[in-house]
Amino acid sequence: MIKIGITGQNGFVGKHLFNTLGLYPEEFERIDFRKDFFENIQELDAFVAKCDVIVHLAAMNRHESEQVIYDTNIALAEKLIDALKRTNSQTHVLISSSTQEERDNLYGKSKKEGRQAIVNWANDHGGKATGLIIPNVFGAFGKPFYNSFVATFCYQLTHGETPAIANDGEVKLIYVQELVDQIIQAIRSNVSIPELFIEATSTKKVSEVLTLLNDYKTKYFDGGEIPIINNSFEHNLFNTYRAYIDHSIHFPVKFTQHIDPRGAFVEVIRLGIGGQCSFSTTVQGITRGNHYHTRKIERFAVIKGKALIQLRKIGTDEVLDFYLNGDEPAYVDMPIWYTHNIKNIGEEELYTIFWINEPFNPEDADTYFETV
């Protein structure tokens, strides 16, 4: 069992890493970290002493003053190094840096100097150090106007705002889950790599990204259609976009019913991609689901009976309740990293249509059970 602590545990990358490590309970034990540990020597030392591996992600990315960014990031690295020395630690420290290391700005300078300081500690005290030099990261739950232009655009397009491009340059990008997978691979390797360059998985102009996101808004947000997804980048970008929708306001979405003397007709889903469509009946009082996905796109459509659909973001306590009635057929889409269920709360059988973007594969199910 490898004991892993993450400074910046509740940040953008940190939360994804923390949650993903939780998918391997027999291999990793997560040591809880709070940002106030940096202000308490005893707490910080106790944290460091428990860890076989520390992933140092805590950092400031943006501030009105570049000097504040520099001073903050250097101070965080120094406090961690002091704790490593006080506890005579020989842990493996992975420190996040940036491809901005070589740029003429204080943020890049702070990341480079922090990485070098950790490497020097490892060389002098018998520890291990891996410097992760990371390109621009995007993904679900990034902070708009802070972590990434992708986060900013997604937030604006789901909150009635219009994005503007300040500089339409090419940007090297990596999806947060791809980055997390590489960090876990580096943890498993357990070797020092002072400069581990994390390769971007795509290079896009800012305008290319915005064009795709505008398409997602028109087709998916406004029209309920799952858009054409041509590759893994577009799949990841679409899941990122979906994460910024305020589910408590946007869902459930009512279908358009076409009624004539023969009965009613409802289009449940319009697809630019394939997948698997299923139909189920659920008897009174029974709950289905209580699981979550990290990549799959899924829709629950209630066409008969009364249902309660519940969602809860992994790592949080807030539960979103959606009440659906087949008299007014409607659907709710499941965001990634939200555990979800559906319960028959009516007095008759519940009829539900489920659509998911990939057929079930028991060897790679991307289905993790956790009660809402």
Q: Which two tokens stand for residue 287?
A: 């709950």
Residue 155: closest CA among 212, 250, 240: 240
Mean confidence (pLDDT) of the chain: 94
Q: Residue 148: its pLDDT value, please?
A: 93
Q: Average the pLDDT over 6-15 and give the result.
A: 96
Q: Which two tokens stand for residue 37?
A: 């540990």
Residue 254: which pLDDT band, with cuts at 50, 70 and 90? very high
146-188 confidence digits (pLDDT tens): 989 999 999 999 999 999 999 999 999 999 999 999 999 999 9
Which amino acid, one-letter code, is at 262?
A: R
Peptide bond into 252 cis (omega under 30): yes
Residue owning tokens 């007095």: 347
Indicate whether 104 pLDDT > 90: no
Which amino acid, one-letter code, is at 220?
A: Y
Indicate whether 250 pLDDT > 80: yes
Residue 108: which pLDDT band, with cuts at 50, 70 and 90? confident
269-308 confidence digits (pLDDT tens): 988 888 889 999 999 999 999 999 999 999 999 999 999 9
Q: Which two tokens stand for residue 87?
A: 């506890």
Phi, psi of 216 (to 5 degrees): -65, -35
Integer CA distances (angstroms), 221 to 84, 201, 246, in order: 48, 26, 11
Q: Do β-strands 28-31 and 2-7 pair in parallel, antiparallel, or remain unpaired?
A: parallel
Residue 37, helix vs strand vs coil:
helix
Burial pattern 279-310, b for ≥16 Cβ within 10 A else e, equals eeebeeeebbbbbbbbbbbbbbbbbbbbbbbb
63-97 confidence digits (pLDDT tens): 878 899 999 999 999 999 999 999 999 999 999 99
Report the sign of the C-alpha dihedral through residues 254, 259, 262, 263, in that order.
Answer: positive
Integer CA distances (angstroms), 356 to 51, 101, 109, 359, in order: 39, 41, 45, 7
Q: Report which secondary-structure segment, H or E, holds 84.
A: helix 66-86
In the DSSP assignment, the letter for residue 348 is: S
Looking at the chain, the number of H-run helices and the number of E-run strands are 9, 21
> What's the number of CA atoms in the CB half-sphere (13 Å) around residue 25?
1
**Would you tell me how many other CB atoms lie within 10 Å of the CB of residue 348?**
13
- CATH superfamily of the 248-369 domain: Jelly Rolls (2.60.120.10)
Is there a contact between 352 and 300 (Cβ–Cβ < 8 Å)? yes
- Asked whether the domain spanning 248-369 has the same topology as the one spanning 2-142+170-202, the reply is no
Q: Residue 102: its pLDDT value, please?
A: 78
In the DSSP assignment, the letter for residue 220 is: I
Every domain of the chain and the residues it spans: 2-142+170-202, 248-369
Phi, psi of 86 (to 5 degrees): -60, -35
Own/partner pairs for 322-326, CB < 8 Å, 24+ apart? 322/251, 322/252, 324/252, 326/302, 326/350, 326/351
Q: Residue 289: its pLDDT value, please?
A: 93
Which amino acid, one-letter code, is at 120?
A: N
Which amino acid, one-letter code, is at 362?
A: P
Q: Residue 65: its pLDDT value, please?
A: 85
Q: Average the pLDDT over 315-344 and give the result.
A: 97
Indicate whether 48 pLDDT > 80: yes
> What does the angle CA 130 – CA 132 – CA 138 come to, to the nearest 5 degrees?
150
Q: Which two tokens stand for residue 155?
A: 């937030």
Q: How far apart are CA 238 and CA 140, in angstroms?
A: 10
Q: How far apart are CA 199 and CA 99, in angstroms?
A: 10
- CATH superfamily of the 2-142+170-202 domain: NAD(P)-binding Rossmann-like Domain (3.40.50.720)
Q: Residue 341: its pLDDT value, please?
A: 97
- Percent of the chain topping pLDDT 70: 100
Residues pairing with 340 in the sheet: 291, 311
